[in-house]
Amino acid sequence: MTILLPFLIFFAILLNYWLVPGGFAWRSHHQSHPKLRGPCGWPILGTLPDQMGALAHRKLAAMAASHCAARLMAFSLGNTRAVISSHPETAKEILCGSSFSDRPIKVSARLLMFERAIGFAPSGKYWRHLRRIAANYMFSPRRISSLETLRQRVADEMLEGVWKEREERGVVELRGIFQRGSLSNILESVFGSCLDLERAELGNMVREGYDLIANFNWEDYLPLRFLDFYGVKRKCHRLSGKVKNVVGQMVRERKRAGEFSGGNDFLSALLSLPTEDQLNDSDMVAVLWEMIFRGTDTISVLLEWIMARMVLHQDIQTKVQEELDKCVGNHRHVQDSDLPNLPYLQAVVKEVLRMHPPGPLLSWARLAVHDVHVGKVLVPAGTTAMVNMWAITHDPSIWKDPWTFNPERFIDEDVSIMGSDLRLAPFGSGRRVCPGKALGLATVHLWLGRLLHQFRWLPAQHVDLSECLKLSLEMKTPLACRVVRRCSGMSF
Protein backbone atom coordinates (compact mmCIF):
# COMPACT_ATOMS: atom_id res chain seq x y z
CA MET A 1 0.00 0.00 0.00
CA THR A 2 2.90 2.36 0.76
CA ILE A 3 4.19 1.83 -2.75
CA LEU A 4 0.75 2.18 -4.37
CA LEU A 5 -0.28 5.30 -2.43
CA PRO A 6 1.66 7.83 -4.57
CA PHE A 7 0.21 6.28 -7.75
CA LEU A 8 -3.32 6.44 -6.34
CA ILE A 9 -2.86 10.09 -5.37
CA PHE A 10 -1.46 10.88 -8.84
CA PHE A 11 -4.37 9.04 -10.46
CA ALA A 12 -6.87 10.96 -8.30
CA ILE A 13 -5.27 14.26 -9.34
CA LEU A 14 -5.54 13.25 -13.02
CA LEU A 15 -9.19 12.32 -12.59
CA ASN A 16 -9.89 15.67 -10.94
CA TYR A 17 -8.16 17.35 -13.91
CA TRP A 18 -10.02 15.35 -16.53
CA LEU A 19 -13.42 14.55 -15.07
CA VAL A 20 -15.05 17.98 -15.05
CA PRO A 21 -18.50 19.08 -16.28
CA GLY A 22 -18.32 19.19 -20.05
CA GLY A 23 -15.39 16.82 -20.22
CA PHE A 24 -11.73 16.95 -21.12
CA ALA A 25 -11.82 19.99 -23.43
CA TRP A 26 -13.29 22.13 -20.62
CA ARG A 27 -10.60 21.18 -18.06
CA SER A 28 -9.03 24.67 -18.00
CA HIS A 29 -12.39 26.46 -17.92
CA HIS A 30 -14.52 24.63 -15.36
CA GLN A 31 -13.47 26.78 -12.37
CA SER A 32 -14.25 30.01 -14.23
CA HIS A 33 -17.50 28.56 -15.63
CA PRO A 34 -19.31 27.26 -12.54
CA LYS A 35 -22.72 27.15 -14.28
CA LEU A 36 -21.58 24.68 -16.92
CA ARG A 37 -23.44 21.39 -16.96
CA GLY A 38 -22.62 18.35 -18.97
CA PRO A 39 -21.10 14.88 -19.02
CA CYS A 40 -17.53 14.33 -17.92
CA GLY A 41 -16.89 11.92 -20.74
CA TRP A 42 -13.69 9.97 -21.24
CA PRO A 43 -10.20 11.35 -20.54
CA ILE A 44 -8.73 12.92 -23.68
CA LEU A 45 -11.49 11.53 -25.92
CA GLY A 46 -14.36 13.40 -24.26
CA THR A 47 -17.80 12.08 -25.26
CA LEU A 48 -16.75 10.70 -28.64
CA PRO A 49 -17.11 6.98 -27.84
CA ASP A 50 -20.68 7.43 -26.65
CA GLN A 51 -22.09 10.07 -28.93
CA MET A 52 -20.85 9.46 -32.47
CA GLY A 53 -23.16 7.14 -34.32
CA ALA A 54 -26.44 6.72 -36.14
CA LEU A 55 -28.50 7.98 -33.16
CA ALA A 56 -26.30 10.83 -31.93
CA HIS A 57 -29.26 13.26 -31.91
CA ARG A 58 -31.22 10.99 -29.55
CA LYS A 59 -28.24 10.26 -27.29
CA LEU A 60 -27.38 13.93 -26.91
CA ALA A 61 -31.03 14.78 -26.18
CA ALA A 62 -31.18 12.10 -23.47
CA MET A 63 -27.89 13.30 -22.00
CA ALA A 64 -29.08 16.93 -21.88
CA ALA A 65 -32.26 15.82 -20.10
CA SER A 66 -30.34 13.72 -17.56
CA HIS A 67 -28.08 16.69 -16.71
CA CYS A 68 -31.00 19.16 -16.62
CA ALA A 69 -29.16 21.04 -19.34
CA ALA A 70 -31.69 21.36 -22.16
CA ARG A 71 -31.00 25.09 -22.51
CA LEU A 72 -27.25 24.55 -22.86
CA MET A 73 -25.10 21.50 -22.26
CA ALA A 74 -21.31 21.46 -22.46
CA PHE A 75 -19.46 18.45 -23.80
CA SER A 76 -16.15 17.56 -25.40
CA LEU A 77 -15.27 16.32 -28.85
CA GLY A 78 -11.71 15.22 -28.17
CA ASN A 79 -9.94 18.49 -27.33
CA THR A 80 -12.69 20.56 -28.98
CA ARG A 81 -15.05 22.45 -26.65
CA ALA A 82 -18.69 22.17 -27.62
CA VAL A 83 -22.08 23.30 -26.33
CA ILE A 84 -25.48 22.17 -27.53
CA SER A 85 -28.90 23.75 -27.13
CA SER A 86 -32.12 21.75 -26.96
CA HIS A 87 -34.35 24.75 -26.28
CA PRO A 88 -35.77 27.42 -28.67
CA GLU A 89 -34.58 30.41 -26.61
CA THR A 90 -30.91 29.46 -26.41
CA ALA A 91 -31.10 28.08 -29.97
CA LYS A 92 -32.12 31.55 -31.15
CA GLU A 93 -29.19 33.14 -29.30
CA ILE A 94 -26.80 30.81 -31.12
CA LEU A 95 -28.29 30.87 -34.60
CA CYS A 96 -29.32 34.51 -34.77
CA GLY A 97 -26.53 36.15 -32.77
CA SER A 98 -23.54 37.79 -34.42
CA SER A 99 -21.27 36.07 -31.89
CA PHE A 100 -21.73 32.79 -33.77
CA SER A 101 -21.29 34.12 -37.29
CA ASP A 102 -18.82 31.45 -38.46
CA ARG A 103 -19.09 27.71 -38.88
CA PRO A 104 -16.48 25.15 -37.78
CA ILE A 105 -15.21 23.34 -40.83
CA LYS A 106 -14.10 19.72 -40.90
CA VAL A 107 -10.94 18.60 -42.68
CA SER A 108 -13.01 16.85 -45.35
CA ALA A 109 -15.24 19.89 -45.94
CA ARG A 110 -12.23 22.18 -46.35
CA LEU A 111 -10.49 19.84 -48.77
CA LEU A 112 -13.70 19.49 -50.79
CA MET A 113 -13.70 23.29 -51.37
CA PHE A 114 -16.75 24.05 -49.21
CA GLU A 115 -14.78 26.80 -47.42
CA ARG A 116 -15.20 28.85 -50.62
CA ALA A 117 -18.95 28.13 -50.90
CA ILE A 118 -21.95 29.67 -49.15
CA GLY A 119 -22.39 27.13 -46.36
CA PHE A 120 -18.90 27.23 -44.83
CA ALA A 121 -17.24 30.41 -46.08
CA PRO A 122 -16.10 32.50 -43.09
CA SER A 123 -18.21 35.52 -42.28
CA GLY A 124 -16.96 38.58 -44.11
CA LYS A 125 -17.08 40.46 -47.40
CA TYR A 126 -16.77 37.37 -49.63
CA TRP A 127 -19.47 35.44 -47.75
CA ARG A 128 -21.85 38.43 -47.83
CA HIS A 129 -21.20 38.70 -51.57
CA LEU A 130 -22.17 35.05 -52.07
CA ARG A 131 -25.34 35.45 -50.03
CA ARG A 132 -26.39 38.49 -52.06
CA ILE A 133 -25.80 36.66 -55.34
CA ALA A 134 -27.82 33.67 -54.08
CA ALA A 135 -30.73 35.83 -52.93
CA ASN A 136 -30.89 38.10 -55.98
CA TYR A 137 -29.96 35.83 -58.87
CA MET A 138 -30.28 32.17 -57.88
CA PHE A 139 -33.10 31.67 -55.37
CA SER A 140 -35.34 34.65 -56.10
CA PRO A 141 -39.11 33.98 -56.37
CA ARG A 142 -38.96 34.71 -60.10
CA ARG A 143 -36.23 32.12 -60.72
CA ILE A 144 -37.96 29.52 -58.54
CA SER A 145 -41.14 30.03 -60.53
CA SER A 146 -39.26 29.74 -63.82
CA LEU A 147 -37.99 26.29 -62.82
CA GLU A 148 -41.49 24.79 -62.49
CA THR A 149 -41.33 23.27 -65.99
CA LEU A 150 -38.22 21.33 -64.94
CA ARG A 151 -39.82 20.18 -61.68
CA GLN A 152 -42.89 18.98 -63.58
CA ARG A 153 -40.80 17.05 -66.10
CA VAL A 154 -38.80 15.33 -63.35
CA ALA A 155 -42.08 14.51 -61.58
CA ASP A 156 -43.31 12.88 -64.81
CA GLU A 157 -40.13 10.79 -64.96
CA MET A 158 -40.48 9.69 -61.32
CA LEU A 159 -44.12 8.70 -61.79
CA GLU A 160 -43.21 6.71 -64.88
CA GLY A 161 -40.46 5.05 -62.87
CA VAL A 162 -42.92 4.16 -60.11
CA TRP A 163 -45.36 2.56 -62.56
CA LYS A 164 -42.60 0.70 -64.41
CA GLU A 165 -41.24 -0.76 -61.17
CA ARG A 166 -44.75 -1.68 -60.09
CA GLU A 167 -45.33 -3.50 -63.39
CA GLU A 168 -42.00 -5.34 -63.26
CA ARG A 169 -41.73 -6.17 -59.56
CA GLY A 170 -45.15 -5.56 -58.04
CA VAL A 171 -43.43 -3.57 -55.28
CA VAL A 172 -41.95 -0.07 -55.55
CA GLU A 173 -38.83 0.90 -53.62
CA LEU A 174 -38.86 4.68 -53.58
CA ARG A 175 -35.38 5.62 -52.45
CA GLY A 176 -33.65 5.04 -55.77
CA ILE A 177 -36.44 6.79 -57.69
CA PHE A 178 -36.26 9.85 -55.41
CA GLN A 179 -32.46 9.97 -55.53
CA ARG A 180 -32.38 9.85 -59.33
CA GLY A 181 -35.13 12.46 -59.57
CA SER A 182 -33.43 14.80 -57.09
CA LEU A 183 -30.09 14.45 -58.87
CA SER A 184 -31.63 15.17 -62.29
CA ASN A 185 -33.51 18.15 -60.90
CA ILE A 186 -30.48 19.78 -59.26
CA LEU A 187 -28.12 19.08 -62.18
CA GLU A 188 -30.47 20.68 -64.69
CA SER A 189 -31.18 23.56 -62.28
CA VAL A 190 -27.44 24.18 -62.04
CA PHE A 191 -26.23 23.43 -65.58
CA GLY A 192 -29.33 23.50 -67.76
CA SER A 193 -28.44 20.19 -69.36
CA CYS A 194 -25.92 17.40 -68.84
CA LEU A 195 -24.65 14.58 -71.01
CA ASP A 196 -25.41 11.11 -69.64
CA LEU A 197 -21.71 10.58 -68.96
CA GLU A 198 -21.44 13.84 -67.01
CA ARG A 199 -24.64 13.05 -65.10
CA ALA A 200 -23.35 9.63 -64.04
CA GLU A 201 -19.93 11.01 -63.08
CA LEU A 202 -21.38 13.87 -61.04
CA GLY A 203 -23.76 11.46 -59.30
CA ASN A 204 -20.83 9.21 -58.33
CA MET A 205 -18.88 12.21 -57.05
CA VAL A 206 -21.81 13.34 -54.89
CA ARG A 207 -22.16 9.87 -53.34
CA GLU A 208 -18.42 9.69 -52.65
CA GLY A 209 -18.54 13.14 -51.07
CA TYR A 210 -21.40 12.09 -48.77
CA ASP A 211 -19.34 9.21 -47.47
CA LEU A 212 -16.28 11.40 -46.84
CA ILE A 213 -18.21 14.19 -45.09
CA ALA A 214 -20.41 11.88 -43.00
CA ASN A 215 -17.64 9.55 -41.80
CA PHE A 216 -16.21 10.26 -38.38
CA ASN A 217 -12.61 11.47 -38.54
CA TRP A 218 -10.37 11.76 -35.47
CA GLU A 219 -8.38 14.57 -37.09
CA ASP A 220 -11.34 16.94 -36.69
CA TYR A 221 -11.22 16.69 -32.89
CA LEU A 222 -7.68 15.70 -31.86
CA PRO A 223 -4.28 17.27 -32.73
CA LEU A 224 -3.31 14.45 -35.08
CA ARG A 225 -3.02 16.39 -38.32
CA PHE A 226 0.19 14.61 -39.26
CA LEU A 227 -1.70 11.33 -39.69
CA ASP A 228 -4.26 10.60 -42.39
CA PHE A 229 -6.69 8.35 -40.51
CA TYR A 230 -8.87 6.25 -42.85
CA GLY A 231 -7.24 7.97 -45.86
CA VAL A 232 -9.67 10.90 -45.64
CA LYS A 233 -7.21 13.52 -46.87
CA ARG A 234 -6.03 11.39 -49.76
CA LYS A 235 -9.59 10.58 -50.87
CA CYS A 236 -10.72 14.22 -50.53
CA HIS A 237 -7.76 15.49 -52.58
CA ARG A 238 -8.60 12.98 -55.30
CA LEU A 239 -12.31 13.86 -55.30
CA SER A 240 -11.71 17.62 -55.32
CA GLY A 241 -9.45 17.10 -58.34
CA LYS A 242 -12.31 15.33 -60.12
CA VAL A 243 -14.72 18.13 -59.20
CA LYS A 244 -12.39 20.83 -60.49
CA ASN A 245 -11.90 18.90 -63.70
CA VAL A 246 -15.55 18.02 -64.45
CA VAL A 247 -17.33 21.13 -63.14
CA GLY A 248 -14.51 23.42 -64.28
CA GLN A 249 -14.71 21.98 -67.80
CA MET A 250 -18.48 22.62 -67.90
CA VAL A 251 -17.90 26.23 -66.85
CA ARG A 252 -15.20 26.72 -69.48
CA GLU A 253 -17.33 25.18 -72.23
CA ARG A 254 -20.28 27.40 -71.34
CA LYS A 255 -18.04 30.46 -71.43
CA ARG A 256 -16.70 29.52 -74.86
CA ALA A 257 -20.25 28.99 -76.16
CA GLY A 258 -21.32 32.44 -74.97
CA GLU A 259 -24.93 33.67 -75.11
CA PHE A 260 -25.74 32.57 -71.57
CA SER A 261 -27.72 35.63 -70.53
CA GLY A 262 -31.00 34.00 -71.52
CA GLY A 263 -30.33 30.70 -69.70
CA ASN A 264 -32.56 29.57 -66.88
CA ASP A 265 -29.94 27.66 -64.89
CA PHE A 266 -27.66 28.72 -62.02
CA LEU A 267 -24.50 28.60 -64.11
CA SER A 268 -26.03 31.02 -66.63
CA ALA A 269 -27.06 33.25 -63.73
CA LEU A 270 -23.47 33.33 -62.42
CA LEU A 271 -21.94 33.94 -65.86
CA SER A 272 -24.34 36.78 -66.63
CA LEU A 273 -23.71 38.67 -63.38
CA PRO A 274 -22.71 42.33 -63.62
CA THR A 275 -18.95 42.79 -63.87
CA GLU A 276 -18.62 43.99 -60.30
CA ASP A 277 -20.33 40.81 -58.99
CA GLN A 278 -18.47 38.25 -61.10
CA LEU A 279 -16.81 35.26 -59.39
CA ASN A 280 -13.54 33.77 -60.57
CA ASP A 281 -13.64 30.26 -62.02
CA SER A 282 -12.39 28.47 -58.89
CA ASP A 283 -14.97 30.14 -56.65
CA MET A 284 -17.69 29.46 -59.21
CA VAL A 285 -16.78 25.76 -59.22
CA ALA A 286 -16.97 25.64 -55.42
CA VAL A 287 -20.40 27.33 -55.34
CA LEU A 288 -21.86 25.10 -58.07
CA TRP A 289 -20.41 21.96 -56.46
CA GLU A 290 -21.98 22.86 -53.10
CA MET A 291 -25.38 23.32 -54.77
CA ILE A 292 -25.17 19.90 -56.41
CA PHE A 293 -23.94 18.32 -53.21
CA ARG A 294 -26.53 19.74 -50.82
CA GLY A 295 -29.41 19.91 -53.28
CA THR A 296 -29.51 16.18 -53.99
CA ASP A 297 -29.94 14.32 -50.71
CA THR A 298 -32.15 16.64 -48.64
CA ILE A 299 -35.19 16.46 -50.91
CA SER A 300 -34.97 12.72 -51.54
CA VAL A 301 -34.54 11.96 -47.83
CA LEU A 302 -37.47 14.18 -46.84
CA LEU A 303 -39.76 12.72 -49.52
CA GLU A 304 -39.05 9.17 -48.36
CA TRP A 305 -39.98 10.10 -44.78
CA ILE A 306 -43.19 11.77 -46.00
CA MET A 307 -44.21 8.76 -48.08
CA ALA A 308 -43.45 6.42 -45.18
CA ARG A 309 -45.87 8.41 -43.06
CA MET A 310 -48.49 8.40 -45.82
CA VAL A 311 -48.24 4.62 -46.13
CA LEU A 312 -48.40 4.19 -42.37
CA HIS A 313 -51.28 6.66 -41.82
CA GLN A 314 -53.85 5.80 -44.47
CA ASP A 315 -56.45 8.15 -42.97
CA ILE A 316 -54.12 11.14 -43.37
CA GLN A 317 -53.25 10.10 -46.94
CA THR A 318 -56.99 10.05 -47.69
CA LYS A 319 -57.42 13.60 -46.34
CA VAL A 320 -54.59 14.90 -48.52
CA GLN A 321 -56.06 13.20 -51.58
CA GLU A 322 -59.51 14.57 -50.88
CA GLU A 323 -57.97 18.06 -50.69
CA LEU A 324 -56.15 17.46 -53.98
CA ASP A 325 -59.31 16.19 -55.70
CA LYS A 326 -61.27 19.22 -54.53
CA CYS A 327 -58.62 21.74 -55.58
CA VAL A 328 -57.18 20.10 -58.72
CA GLY A 329 -59.80 17.59 -59.91
CA ASN A 330 -58.78 14.59 -61.98
CA HIS A 331 -58.27 16.09 -65.42
CA ARG A 332 -54.98 17.93 -64.93
CA HIS A 333 -51.77 17.76 -62.89
CA VAL A 334 -50.97 19.62 -59.70
CA GLN A 335 -49.24 22.93 -60.39
CA ASP A 336 -47.27 25.42 -58.31
CA SER A 337 -50.27 27.76 -58.40
CA ASP A 338 -52.33 25.12 -56.55
CA LEU A 339 -49.98 24.88 -53.56
CA PRO A 340 -51.33 27.89 -51.60
CA ASN A 341 -54.75 26.21 -51.77
CA LEU A 342 -53.46 22.94 -50.27
CA PRO A 343 -53.01 23.75 -46.56
CA TYR A 344 -53.37 20.16 -45.37
CA LEU A 345 -50.65 18.93 -47.74
CA GLN A 346 -48.37 21.68 -46.41
CA ALA A 347 -49.28 20.68 -42.84
CA VAL A 348 -48.21 17.10 -43.59
CA VAL A 349 -44.81 18.35 -44.79
CA LYS A 350 -44.41 20.46 -41.66
CA GLU A 351 -45.29 17.55 -39.41
CA VAL A 352 -42.74 15.30 -41.12
CA LEU A 353 -40.11 18.04 -40.79
CA ARG A 354 -40.99 18.19 -37.08
CA MET A 355 -40.76 14.45 -36.46
CA HIS A 356 -37.89 13.71 -38.85
CA PRO A 357 -35.80 16.88 -39.33
CA PRO A 358 -33.32 16.11 -42.15
CA GLY A 359 -30.44 17.92 -40.41
CA PRO A 360 -30.94 17.46 -36.65
CA LEU A 361 -27.30 18.17 -35.69
CA LEU A 362 -24.73 18.45 -38.46
CA SER A 363 -26.46 21.32 -40.27
CA TRP A 364 -26.49 23.47 -37.17
CA ALA A 365 -22.89 23.84 -36.02
CA ARG A 366 -21.62 27.36 -35.38
CA LEU A 367 -18.36 28.75 -34.02
CA ALA A 368 -18.10 31.35 -31.26
CA VAL A 369 -15.98 34.17 -32.71
CA HIS A 370 -15.49 35.75 -29.26
CA ASP A 371 -16.46 35.13 -25.64
CA VAL A 372 -20.24 35.38 -25.29
CA HIS A 373 -22.96 34.59 -22.77
CA VAL A 374 -25.65 32.14 -23.88
CA GLY A 375 -28.35 32.26 -21.25
CA LYS A 376 -26.36 32.42 -18.03
CA VAL A 377 -23.36 30.49 -19.32
CA LEU A 378 -20.17 32.10 -20.61
CA VAL A 379 -19.12 30.39 -23.84
CA PRO A 380 -15.43 30.97 -24.70
CA ALA A 381 -14.27 32.02 -28.16
CA GLY A 382 -13.51 29.05 -30.41
CA THR A 383 -16.28 26.87 -28.94
CA THR A 384 -18.39 24.82 -31.34
CA ALA A 385 -22.08 25.55 -30.71
CA MET A 386 -24.82 23.23 -31.93
CA VAL A 387 -28.60 23.06 -31.83
CA ASN A 388 -30.42 19.75 -31.45
CA MET A 389 -33.53 20.50 -33.50
CA TRP A 390 -34.70 16.90 -33.06
CA ALA A 391 -34.73 17.38 -29.28
CA ILE A 392 -36.68 20.65 -29.59
CA THR A 393 -39.31 19.14 -31.90
CA HIS A 394 -39.83 16.19 -29.55
CA ASP A 395 -40.01 18.19 -26.31
CA PRO A 396 -43.39 17.67 -24.55
CA SER A 397 -43.09 21.08 -22.87
CA ILE A 398 -43.07 22.68 -26.35
CA TRP A 399 -45.27 20.36 -28.40
CA LYS A 400 -48.44 18.58 -27.33
CA ASP A 401 -48.13 14.80 -27.83
CA PRO A 402 -44.79 15.20 -29.65
CA TRP A 403 -44.54 11.49 -30.54
CA THR A 404 -47.91 11.50 -32.30
CA PHE A 405 -47.99 12.19 -36.05
CA ASN A 406 -50.66 14.88 -36.23
CA PRO A 407 -50.64 17.35 -39.16
CA GLU A 408 -53.78 19.02 -37.73
CA ARG A 409 -51.57 20.77 -35.17
CA PHE A 410 -50.40 23.03 -38.03
CA ILE A 411 -53.96 23.70 -39.17
CA ASP A 412 -54.86 24.83 -35.65
CA GLU A 413 -51.72 26.99 -35.36
CA ASP A 414 -49.78 28.47 -38.26
CA VAL A 415 -46.13 27.82 -37.37
CA SER A 416 -43.54 29.28 -39.74
CA ILE A 417 -40.77 26.89 -40.77
CA MET A 418 -38.65 29.51 -42.52
CA GLY A 419 -36.51 30.33 -39.47
CA SER A 420 -38.45 32.91 -37.44
CA ASP A 421 -39.90 30.34 -34.99
CA LEU A 422 -37.18 28.24 -33.36
CA ARG A 423 -39.67 25.60 -32.26
CA LEU A 424 -39.42 24.32 -35.83
CA ALA A 425 -36.64 25.67 -38.01
CA PRO A 426 -35.55 22.81 -40.28
CA PHE A 427 -33.62 25.15 -42.60
CA GLY A 428 -31.81 27.00 -39.85
CA SER A 429 -32.21 30.60 -38.78
CA GLY A 430 -30.37 33.88 -38.74
CA ARG A 431 -27.64 34.89 -41.16
CA ARG A 432 -26.67 31.26 -41.88
CA VAL A 433 -30.20 30.13 -42.79
CA CYS A 434 -30.32 27.85 -45.85
CA PRO A 435 -30.57 30.14 -48.91
CA GLY A 436 -32.35 27.47 -50.98
CA LYS A 437 -35.16 26.78 -48.51
CA ALA A 438 -37.94 28.25 -50.69
CA LEU A 439 -36.80 26.26 -53.74
CA GLY A 440 -36.56 23.07 -51.67
CA LEU A 441 -40.08 23.49 -50.29
CA ALA A 442 -41.53 24.30 -53.71
CA THR A 443 -40.00 21.09 -55.06
CA VAL A 444 -41.16 18.88 -52.19
CA HIS A 445 -44.72 20.28 -52.18
CA LEU A 446 -45.15 19.88 -55.95
CA TRP A 447 -43.67 16.37 -56.12
CA LEU A 448 -45.68 15.20 -53.11
CA GLY A 449 -48.86 16.58 -54.66
CA ARG A 450 -48.12 14.76 -57.92
CA LEU A 451 -47.33 11.47 -56.14
CA LEU A 452 -50.47 11.48 -53.99
CA HIS A 453 -52.72 12.78 -56.76
CA GLN A 454 -51.70 10.03 -59.18
CA PHE A 455 -51.45 6.99 -56.88
CA ARG A 456 -52.82 5.39 -53.74
CA TRP A 457 -49.87 4.21 -51.63
CA LEU A 458 -50.12 1.00 -49.59
CA PRO A 459 -47.60 -0.89 -47.45
CA ALA A 460 -45.76 -3.78 -49.08
CA GLN A 461 -44.22 -4.80 -45.76
CA HIS A 462 -43.80 -3.47 -42.24
CA VAL A 463 -42.93 0.23 -42.35
CA ASP A 464 -39.71 0.57 -40.36
CA LEU A 465 -39.27 4.11 -39.01
CA SER A 466 -35.81 3.41 -37.59
CA GLU A 467 -33.40 6.30 -38.15
CA CYS A 468 -29.83 6.50 -39.36
CA LEU A 469 -27.98 9.80 -39.01
CA LYS A 470 -25.42 10.21 -41.77
CA LEU A 471 -25.10 13.55 -43.53
CA SER A 472 -28.90 13.74 -43.18
CA LEU A 473 -31.34 11.84 -40.99
CA GLU A 474 -32.29 8.94 -43.25
CA MET A 475 -34.63 5.99 -42.95
CA LYS A 476 -32.49 3.03 -41.92
CA THR A 477 -34.54 0.63 -44.07
CA PRO A 478 -35.60 1.76 -47.58
CA LEU A 479 -39.35 2.18 -47.96
CA ALA A 480 -41.17 -0.38 -50.13
CA CYS A 481 -44.78 0.24 -51.25
CA ARG A 482 -47.61 -1.08 -53.37
CA VAL A 483 -49.35 1.45 -55.56
CA VAL A 484 -52.83 1.73 -57.07
CA ARG A 485 -53.47 4.23 -59.84
CA ARG A 486 -56.06 6.89 -58.96
CA CYS A 487 -56.27 9.13 -62.06
CA SER A 488 -56.40 6.45 -64.75
CA GLY A 489 -57.48 8.84 -67.50
CA MET A 490 -54.52 11.16 -67.03
CA SER A 491 -51.01 10.52 -68.37
CA PHE A 492 -47.89 11.03 -66.31
96 is in an annotated binding site: no
CA–CA dist 22, 75 (Å, integer): 4
Environment class of residue 148 by beta-carbon count within 10 Å: exposed (0-12), middle (13-18) or buried (19+)? middle
Known binding-site positions for heme: 434
Known binding-site positions: 434
